[in-house]
C-alpha cells in the first residue's frame, strides 16, 4: 500500500498551510486515504532535512513531500537556507532511495509566495502530483529488478 509523508514548515505558515491544504486535497482526490498520509510539522525550512531523513529511512513511506516557504528578506540568510535545504534533500533522496519531492518555494516577495499557493502556480498540488508520479516510477523500476 502506498503511504506518503508530508513534512511541512510552520515558518511563513500563512503560505505553508495553503501549500499543505492543496497538497492533501490533491492526494485525496487521487485516491489516497487519510490512513495513507502522514503529516509532520517542523519549525522552519532548516529543520526539514533531518525530519525528511528520518521519514525516508523509516521504510514506511513510498515518497516524502517537503513543503515550505523560504522568503527573501533583508539579509542573505534565505540563500544559505535554500542552498543547504535543496542539497540536503537531494542527498537524502538518493541515499535513502526514496523519492523526496521539493515543494519548498523560494519567492522574492510575499505576493509571489501567495501566488504559488493557487491556480496554475499551485506548488502544493504540483508536489502531490510529482510524488504520485515518482511512486509509480519507483514501483515500475523495482518491479523490473
Which pLDDT belongs to residue 119?
A: 85
Count of structural domains within the chain: 1
The 10s digit of each residue's pLDDT in 103-139 is: 998 888 888 888 888 888 899 999 999 999 999 999 9
pLDDT band at 1 (very low <50, low <70, confident <90, very high): confident
pLDDT score recorded for residue 75:
65
Domain range for residue 131?
4-144
pLDDT for residue 44 is more than 60: yes
Entry field: residues in the chain: 145
pTM of the model: 0.91
Which cell goes with 7? 513534512
127 in Cβ contact with 69 (< 8 Å)? no
The CATH number of residue 89's host domain is: 3.40.50.960
The residues, any chain, with a CB within 8 Å of residue 35's CB and separated by 6 or more, are none
- In angstroms, rounded to a whole number, what is the distance separating the alpha carbons of residues 34 and 5? 11
Q: Is the pLDDT of residue 145 over 60?
A: no
Q: Tell me the backbone φ, ψ of residue 136, rounded to 5 degrees.
A: -65, -40
Please write the tens of the pLDDT for every residue from 48-105: 999 999 999 999 999 999 999 987 766 666 676 778 888 999 999 999 999 999 999 8
Amino acid at each position: 500500500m502506498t503511504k506518503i509523508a508530508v513534512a511541512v514548515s510552520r515558518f511563513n505558515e500563512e503560505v505553508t498551510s495553503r501549500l499543505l491544504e492543496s497538497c492533501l486535497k490533491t492526494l485525496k482526490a487521487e485516491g489516497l486515504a487519510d490512513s495513507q498520509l502522514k503529516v509532520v510539522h517542523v519549525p522552519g525550512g532548516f529543520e526539514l532535512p533531518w525530519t525528511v531523513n528520518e521519514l525516508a529511512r523509516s521504510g514506511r513511506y513510498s515518497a516524502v513531500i517537503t513543503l515550505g516557504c523560504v522568503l527573501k528578506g533583508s539579509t542573505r540568510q534565505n540563500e544559505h537556507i535554500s542552498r543547504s535545504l535543496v542539497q540536503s534533500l537531494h542527498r537524502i533522496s538518493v541515499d535513502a532511495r526514496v523519492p523526496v519531492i521539493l515543494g519548498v518555494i523560494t519567492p522574492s516577495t510575499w505576493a509571489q509566495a501567495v501566488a504559488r499557493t493557487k491556480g496554475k502556480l499551485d506548488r502544493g498540488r504540483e508536489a502531490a502530483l510529482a510524488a504520485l508520479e515518482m511512486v509509480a516510477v519507483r514501483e515500475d523500476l523495482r518491479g523490473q529488478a
